[in-house]
Amino acid sequence: VAVFTKKEPISVHYGLHDNKYDDEGRVITLEFENFYYVACYVPNSGEELKRLDFRMQFEKDLVSYLNELNEKKPIIYAGDLNVAHNEIDLKNPKTNTHSAGFTIEERNAFTNLLNNGYVDTFRYLHPEEVKYSWWSYRFRAREKGIGWRIDYFVVSKSIIDKVKSSEIHNEIFGSDHCPVGLEIEI
């Protein structure tokens, strides 16, 4: 959920460097006076991990893009990032180690993002809390509490002290995902 008060964006950009990935509609960047807001739908690695290589290239290009923006002003990066970063972020980690969204490659890519100066706001504020933002439509997964946390708000480390709250609203129904929210004063 992104709600901006008081200001209109200075500019809007679709895609990454040189409009890469525009054909998939993956990234929208809003530039504001004091920060960039980057909304993203990270590619899913797919059945049998058929798109894992594509996704890993996307992840590298994305970090490069975010780092270029972050040199100018801080980043708020949000969306369906299609990765459960740690075992706490999904119900059944042991049986999903080779599943799209929980491969070592995908998890390492997210770790690399964080190591580049970004912070997972929910995990920062709720280090031990188990909450999910996505559930399969199969087998009544949501009803059974079998979910994954794959929707995030990530911010530049330089503005983590401005984050007031980061929440997962799993009480809201209507999709296989639930809204996530960030309150930040920037």
Q: Which two tokens stand for residue 17?
A: 């460097």
b/e burial code for range 74-90 (CB count within 10 A of at least 16 → b):
bbbbbbbbbbbbeeebb
| Cα–Cα distance for residue pair 59/110, rounded to 1 Å | 8
| Catalytic machinery residues | 41, 80
- Scan for tokens 């296989």, then name that residue: 176
Q: Which of 137, 128, 126 is nearest to 167 (CA)?
A: 126
Distances (CA, A) of 22 to 13, 62, 183: 10, 13, 29
The structure tokens 């929707």 sit at 151
